[in-house]
Amino acid sequence: MHRAIKTPSLGGAWALSEIVGKQIAIENKFSESIITHHGLSVSPIGDGDIHRHDHPEARKGNNRLWYVLHHDFGVHGDWATGEKHSVFADDTPDPQVAEKARQEAEKRRVERQAERERGYALVASQTRQEWPLLTPASPTHAYLAAKGVKPYNLRQRRELLVVPLTDGQRLVNWQTIGPDGAKYFKTGGKVKGCYSPIGSIEPHQPLLIAEGWATAATLHEATGYAVAAAMNAGNLLPVAKSLRERYPTQPIIVCADNDHGTAGNPGVTKGKEAASAIGARCVWPETHEGVTDFNDLARLGGGLAL
């Protein structure tokens, strides 16, 4: 049985067969586009809501792929890289149809953003209530031992490390890290523009921005500088802009991952983009087998000159 679909609100009466035909056409084209760009096979749901999936080449639970599908057009992308693709049922969509679709998409975007903001506030409140109940992280935790870093401001809940995320003013979310390195944010919490700070920002000293927390900890240990862990490549730019706004004269260095084994090298690409946007430097480890970030480099005995 075919899934229930929403009736188009584009004006005029459409025959049911035409509606179903367009729905099948866009679903097929949309599925092919996702396979082509992300290597993921899905059965897309055309309900106009955001749906998320794991990237097949990333760690399980990454939830980084997303899509929104309407009755005759859809958009999908990868939040970690910022990649985004649009697909229309017709190769050359009618301008009026495209404009109506754009308006509908914008309306839904505003509605979803308002809903997300309410969720952000709820998660932030819960996080601030729960944080004092957590114990300081054990220096012998398996993940810390594997990465060769100290716990700094981390907390622990049973076997999970808990990494605090701030919006620059207060605690709003956290990320848990298991002994095996599996990472999860609190469901519904804000991540974009948020970061985990290590160290104190001092006048005239560089402020570093890194991706992962372990890399940030490594950089802080090596330099003594304050570091903000943006948590993923796609968040480097929002975090960089936020920090530049708060610290307009502070020297900032974006310490990117070198994803030399990944198409497009999202670490360096996003790092350069973030640095360029705020007038900062961008550095990354040289290309070596087994080295993609500054933590990898440090564990192999490499220097961390910035």
114-135: pLDDT as tens digits? 888 999 999 999 999 999 999 9
Question: What does the pLDDT look like over 184-204, one tens digit per residue?
Answer: 999 999 999 999 999 999 998
Q: What is the pLDDT along the chain (306 residues), one digit of tens a residue?
A: 334 334 344 444 445 566 566 677 788 888 999 999 988 888 888 888 888 899 888 777 788 898 988 877 888 988 878 788 888 877 666 677 667 766 776 777 788 788 889 999 999 999 999 999 999 999 999 999 999 999 999 999 999 999 999 999 999 999 999 999 999 999 999 999 999 999 999 998 999 999 999 999 999 999 999 999 999 999 999 999 999 999 999 999 999 999 999 999 999 999 999 999 999 999 999 988 888 999 999 888 766 666
Decide: 164 and 174 in contact? Cβ < 8 Å. yes
**pLDDT of res. 8:** 41
In 3D space, the residue among 306, 302, 230 whose CA is nearest the CA of residue 273 turns out to be 230
What residue segments make up the domains of the chain, in order of their start? 16-122, 197-306
d(CA 306, CA 295): 14
**pLDDT of res. 4:** 38
pTM: 0.71
pLDDT, averaged across the chain:
87
Q: Give the CATH fold of the 197-306 domain.
A: Dna Topoisomerase Vi A Subunit; Chain: A, domain 2 (3.40.1360)
Complete edge-to-edge strand list for the sheet that includes strand 65-69: 50-53, 65-69, 73-78, 83-88
| DSSP-assigned states of every residue in 216-284 | HHHHHHHH--EEEE-SSGGGHHHHHHHHHHH-TTS-EEEE----TTSTT-HHHHHHHHHHHHHT-EEE-
In 3D space, the residue among 199, 129, 128, 217 whose CA is nearest the CA of residue 167 turns out to be 128
